[in-house]
Structure 1
Amino acid sequence: MFPVPVIMRLIFCYFGGATLSCLFLVLLQLHCSLSQKSEGALTVVENTEGGRGVDEEEVVTVDNDDDDDDGVFEVVQPNEQWQTLKPDQAVPAGSHVRLNLQTGEREVRLGEEQLKYWTQQHREEEKSRSSIDPDELKRAMKKLKEDQSSQDSAPSRFRPLDELKKEMADLDLLVETDVQIMRRLLDQFNSSNSTMEQRLSILQELEYLVHQVDNAQTLCVMGGLSFILQGLNSSDVRFQENSALVLGSAVASNPVVQVQAVEGGALQTLLTTLATTQPLNVKKKVLFALACLLRHFPYAQRHFLSHGGLQILSELFRADAGGILRTRIVTMLYDMISEKELISQAGLDPVQDPAHAERLRQYSQVSLQEELMEEGWCSLVPQLLQSTEHDYREKALRALLAMTPVCLDQYRSDGALLGSLLTLRLQYSELIQSEMILGEETSYFTEMVELIDSLQVKVK
């Protein structure tokens, strides 16, 4: 007996002029109904995976019907893959069943709801369990034991802890502090086995170290200052230069070392070196050391004046035709004048530090400008304006302005000075115009014109 739905579809296809595909589909459903031995009937549904594939012509679901269950079937547990169903096999409710038109066999897999709970983690666990090869596991365990045995029998790659500690202790002995380095350098310097080249190298290392305030003071405590002063009296020019550099670096902005240097006779040694016939390079380094020793140190400035320092510098100034030493000398004198002026201006502040009164008293004992006038510096400094170097001229103009309080009368009567000021102002005014046309920076030349104007105003 044909099922009623099948008969109704046959009538519809016959009288409705249906195509052959419609008749084929109805006959297919009839075949499935007659051949199904399970408790459910196969119902044709639309293919939910889109299109009709070669292996997936129709998708069906299984509906259980307990009233017609007369036999016993083998229940297949489906998964996410399609698997073939045998005629005597049944499937759980909710599974998807299809008929493969190429093979003519029925296939089953999990339904859509069941697939939601078939997680990726479950599939990976199943794959991992199924991929373990017992023989491979045995071989891996055997190899692991062999490797462990070879490591136990081989010599250790790590050295004993006691040996490492000993080496670290030896390394600590090689890490020297600056104090230890200076002590070692002084010992080598005083050694009779040291050559002149080695001593020059030691002086260069000391010059680097004494830039630090504490190191310079430590060097004095060790007695290194006396060896440096002895180097200034050496007959070797290189030894004199390097000794002067070490001394200048040690006393620069270091009042403690400045005091010890003056008390140790450094000022007299420097002035003596300048007064004797020496190469130009030696005199440049000695002037550097002298300027560092006098800067911000009125006690040393006073002794400098009392020991004829200005007279020695004036002779050095006249003998220097190139102007290199002249510029250094004029700069040093300008710094000394400016320091005293700044101290006097600081005394006008309502709040003063406790040491200001003492500094003011010490600077009052330094009669620098008066001695400058007496030693003829009012006529010496203007000679530097004849230089072709802009820097030399700038240093001379600043020093002339600083010396105006004591040199004004001589300035007004110095025709060469007045003529130089007119010539320089015209020259720098032309340079300003030229630089403006070219679009270059003119601030330096403008500053030079301002210095000249300030000096001309004072002279008038």
Structure 2
Amino acid sequence: MLMWLCCVSVTMRLACCRVGGASFSRFILAAVLLLHRCHIASSLQQRSEGALTVVKNTEDGDEEATVDDVGDLEVVQPSEQWQTLKPGQAVPAGSHVRLNMQTGEREVRLGEEQLKYWTQKHRCGCQLNTSSFNMEKEDAGTSFSPDELKRAMRKIKEDTSKDTNHQDSVASKYRPLEELKRDMAQLDMLVETDVQIMRRLLDQFNSSNTTTEQRLSILLELEYLVHQVDNAQTLCSMGGLQFILEGLNSSDIRLQESSAFVLGSALASNPAVQVRAVESGALQTLLTTLANVQSFGVKKKVLFAVGSLLRHFPYAQRHFLSHGGLQILSELFRADGSGILRTRIVTMLYDMISEKELMPQALDPVQDPSHEERLRQYSEVSLQGELLEKGWCSLVPQLLQSTEHDYREKALLALLVMASVCLDQYRLDSSLLDSLLVLRLQYQEMAQSEMFLGEENSYFTEIVELIDALQVKMK
């Protein structure tokens, strides 16, 4: 305004000085040009004073734009790169504005918070809602109304609030790390090794306050543990074998049966425990129990323990024969009417005869330093002579009268391995000859039925082969 007044004053002074003719025309033209330049200068000064406008944000989400009195603002949408700011353009609050000293132009880019939001949302492909911003990537100079900027800033706050709430929700679903560490430390204290468990069980078993039901439960747990070779040996070193043998002498039938079961599981395929058992007098205890007990269940478990003790242990087999083991088994065989005990006894005899015959081929003198000693011990086991003497050549064929295919198979296998000492009696036993003829016809028919159904090398075919092999030996 001051410049405009100055120009008017100068013009009036010139008009007073010169009037008339051509000079007056030239004067008028010069005055008009001077007034026009003054008006342009005044407009530029006013425009420069209001060139940079900042769109401010308030805490409650309302945004106000401080603008010139003319029209909508042309708001520059900053990016992560510096861009030139033209005169009269507005920038969002929080943007960085600088003066480029080389070009003299003002430049703008996103502020720190805006740049963080831009990087996480816009660059990762999660662009801001186009309905709120109404912008395209390639057009950074589009005009925005205050309402659009208001909605954009509100969305940034909402997204930040959602992220915070999500983190709190996830954290509430999990226990603190320190609490987990304390719980894990407590669990480590409660873990027991097998050795500790067996020690605790033996202490409870030997306690005078322990009931019979508790002892039965303890024996059941021990039976599970002694299937491992190391556990069975550890149990013996703890004195557990003595407790088990005392259970065999108990007056309670349930304790006798459970104790025999534990002993048989500990002896199975465990030479170290077999030796300790023989040294502890387990063989005599088992034979005495077998001869005197009346319970069928106890007899089954004791036979299991005796078989585990004798298997691949010629020293125990020799003591078994010298202590009248075959005589006890023969009495048990005759008394059994179900065939279950007979099958167990015949299977035990078959195993003892077979391993003695196959031992020379099974032992390797190079890898087994005790080869000669084992052969010597097996040579002292006169099992086949005892079988002939105790009448087993006529006892085993009685098992063929059973209706169970498995029982008949076990009997045929035992008759084959006993043929070397019982062959003469086989030939004189007419009932045996008749049984073999009837069984062959029966199993031959079953085998043909299986072959008709497409089954080759069937179970019944194997039984027919056993009968044929025995008949060949008897001719």
Q: What TM bracket, shorter-length normalisation?
A: 0.5 to 0.7
Q: Is residue 218 of structure 2 the alignment partner of residue 205 of structure 1?
A: no
Distance 1:392 1:189 in 2: 39
Partner deviation per Cα, 1:403-429 (whole Å, 9 max, x = no partner): 111111211222222222222222222
Q: What does residue 452 of structure 1 align with?
A: 467
What amino acid is aligned across from residue 406 of structure 1 in structure 2?
V
Is 1:405–2:420 an aligned residue pair?
yes
* Structure 1 residue 433: Cα displacement: 3.7
Report what 1:392 is aligned to: 407
Change beyond 3 A, Cα 1:276–1:162: same
Structure 2 Cα separation of the partners of residues 459 and 205 of structure 1? 50
2:337 to 311, 317, 321: 321
The residue that corresponds to 2:318 in the other structure is: 302
1:221 is aligned to 237
The one of 249, 253, 259 aligned to 2:269? 253
Aligned to 1:373: 388
Give 1:234's aligned residue: 250
Aligned to 2:202: 186
Which residue number corresponds to residue 434 of structure 2?
419
Aligned to 1:4: none
What's the TM-score, normalizing by structure 2? 0.64
Alignment partner, residue 295 of structure 2: 279
Specify the SS of the correspondent of 2:137. Answer: helix
Give the CA deviation at 1:373.
0.8
Question: Following the alignment from structure 2 to structure 1, what is the Cα–Cα distance between the partners of residues 164 and 471?
Answer: 99
Aligned to 1:311: 327
* Number of positions where the alignment pairs a residue of Structure 1 with one of Structure 2: 339
Name 1:124's counterpart in structure 2. 137
Structure 1 pair 383–124 and aligned structure 2 pair: CA distance change class (3 A): same
Residue 398 of structure 1 deviates from its aligned partner by 0.6
What are the Cα deviations for residues 19-44 of structure 1, in whole angstroms up to 9, with x where unaligned? Answer: xxxxxxxxxxxxxxxxxxxxxxxxxx
RMSD between aligned residues: 3.4
SS of alignment partner, residue 184 of structure 2:
helix
Aligned to 2:361: 345
**Unpaired runs of at least 5, structure 1:** 1-119, 151-155
- How big is each residue's C-alpha offset from its partner over 1:211-252, in whole Å with a ceiling of 9 and x where there is no partner? 111111111111111111111111222211111111111110
- How far apart, in 1, do the equivalents of 2:162 and 2:136 lie? 34
Show the 5 A alignment for 1:329-340: 329-340=345-356
Query: Partner letter of residue 206 of structure 2?
Result: N
Q: Is the 8 A contact 1:435 1:442 kept in 2?
A: no
After superposition, the Cα gap between the structure-2 partners of 1:204 and 1:130, relative to the gap in structure 1 and judged at 3 Å, is farther
Between 205-214 and 193-202, report the one with greater CA deviation: 193-202
Structure 2 CA distance for aligned equivalents of residues 395 and 138 of structure 1: 90
Give 1:346 shift.
3.5
Alpha-carbon contact 1:337-1:369 (below 8 Å) kept: yes
* Contact 1:274/1:286 (8 A) holds in 2: yes
AA of the residue aligned to 2:427: R
Contact preservation (8 Å) 2:293, 2:299: no
Change (3 A) 1:437 1:125: same
Q: For residue 209 of structure 2, give the secondary structure of its aligned residue in structure 1.
A: coil
Q: Distance in 1 between matches of 2:446 and 2:154?
A: 93
Cα distance in 2 for residues equivalent to 1:127 and 1:353: 90
For structure 2, which runs of at least 5 residues remain unmatched after alignment? 1-124, 128-134, 166-170
**How many Å apart are 1:363 and its aligned residue?**
0.9
Deviation at 1:365, TM superposition (A): 1.2
Task: Report the counterpart of residue 374 of structure 2 in structure 1.
Answer: 359
For residue 456 of structure 1, what is the amino acid of its counterpart? Q
The Cα of 1:264 is off from its aligned counterpart by 1.1
Residues 184-237 of structure 1: CA distance to partner in whole angstroms, max 9, x if unpaired?
111221222222111111111111111111111111111111111111111222
User: In the TM superposition, what is the alpha-carbon distance from 1:435 to its structure 2 partner?
Assistant: 4.1
For residues 386 and 148 of structure 1, do their structure 2 counterparts lie closer, same or farther at Cα, with a shift above 3 Å needed?
closer
